[in-house]
Amino acid sequence: MQSVIDQFFQHLKVERHASVHTLKNYAGDLRQFSVFVDSHYPDVSRSGDDGLRKINPNLLRSFLSELFKDHGATSVARKLSTLRSFFDFAMRQHVLDNNPAKAVRSPKIPKKLPQFLTLDEVMALLGAPKGDGSLTMRDKAILELFYASGLRLSELVALNSDQIDLANGMVRILGKGNKERMVPVGQKAIDAIKNYMEARGNLLNGKPDQKGVFLNKSGSRISARAVERLIEKYIKLTGIQKKVTPHVLRHTFATHLLNNGADMRGIQELLGHASLSTTQRYTHVELDKLMKVYDKTHPKA
């Protein structure tokens, strides 16, 4: 089975251009499945690649049942999705004739409203970086760009200098599946990025310049974890009593657009969602707002 897993990861890297985050999740899921098979179905494990043909829906249901002891429905559903993708690949490689995971029902995931910041909270966060140091200017540019564009964390840290058109206020994004999209950026964010770019050379510390827009203090491309930490730092400074991640800023971008009359299709394009159904979860936020207005203003409410 391991040789097919190795081929699957090569396919994800080279042909699907999967992100590091996606590869890490897939690797963890398949490793967990392999350990389960080794311990509970040794005959399948000992059969190598031929053992894949012995994997049936009941074996998979047993695996999911084991997972539910320590994982929630969302995590279990994702791991099943990983297995479906892996078995689909095995079919295309003519290792399997059918996908056993297709016969296993995915657990029902409770719907959660996207978390987001209010306008006052956003203004407090964007105003939190104080001073004119290179790192402070970088942090301000990152926060402004997140709110102005709704970028994913992976998209922001991968951003290269040639993807930003400051003159026209546009950013060219390479999103999931290496799909390209153009995102307009407001003047506040453009000004913050311009100020940072003028000071960016101070972070290189004599190193040759590289394509990455956002650098760390050592002059290398900033990491995703470093961006998460700087957001945590400024949230503490503002006193906002919410857990705020880059994804919450993405939700905030979309929610504020919707609340101010933006078209759902337009928001889908800006976020880079492949399906409109992914974007439509923001309508729950809007409907909640409408219900409050109704209750407050309708004479018979």
Q: How far apart are CA 206 and CA 84, in angstroms?
A: 48
What is the enclosing helix (H) or strand (E) of 23?
Answer: helix 20-40
Report which residue type is found at 77. Answer: A
Question: What spatial distance separates the first Cα and last Cα of the chain, rounded to whole Å?
Answer: 61
- Strand, coil or helix: what is 30? helix
Q: Is 247 a catalytic residue?
A: yes
Backbone angles phi, psi at 182, to 5 degrees: -105, 130
Q: Which of 11, 16, 54, 176 is labelled catalytic?
A: 176
| Burial zone of 147 (CB within 10 Å; 0-12 exposed, 13-18 middle, 19+ buried) | buried
- Catalytic residue list contains 234: no
Task: Please say if 46 is a catalytic residue.
Answer: no
Query: Is 200 a known active-site residue?
Result: no
Which residue among 26, 147, 196, 282 is the active-site one? 282
Q: Is 171 helix (H, G, I), strand (E, B) or coil?
A: strand
- DSSP 8-state symbol, 217: T
CA–CA gap between residue 59 and residue 274 (Å, rounded): 32
Residue 250 appears among annotated catalytic residues: yes
53 part of the active site? no
Neighbours of 1 (CB within 10 A): 22
Catalytic residue among 61, 71, 247, 281: 247
The residue from 138, 140, 250, 251 that is catalytic is 250
126: nearest Cα among 256, 295, 284 = 256
Residues 146, 154: Cα–Cα separation, whole Å: 12
Tell me which of 79, 152, 200, 251 is the catalytic residue.
152
Return d(Cα 140, Cα 134) in angstroms, integer: 10
Residues acting as catalytic residues: 152, 176, 247, 250, 273, 282
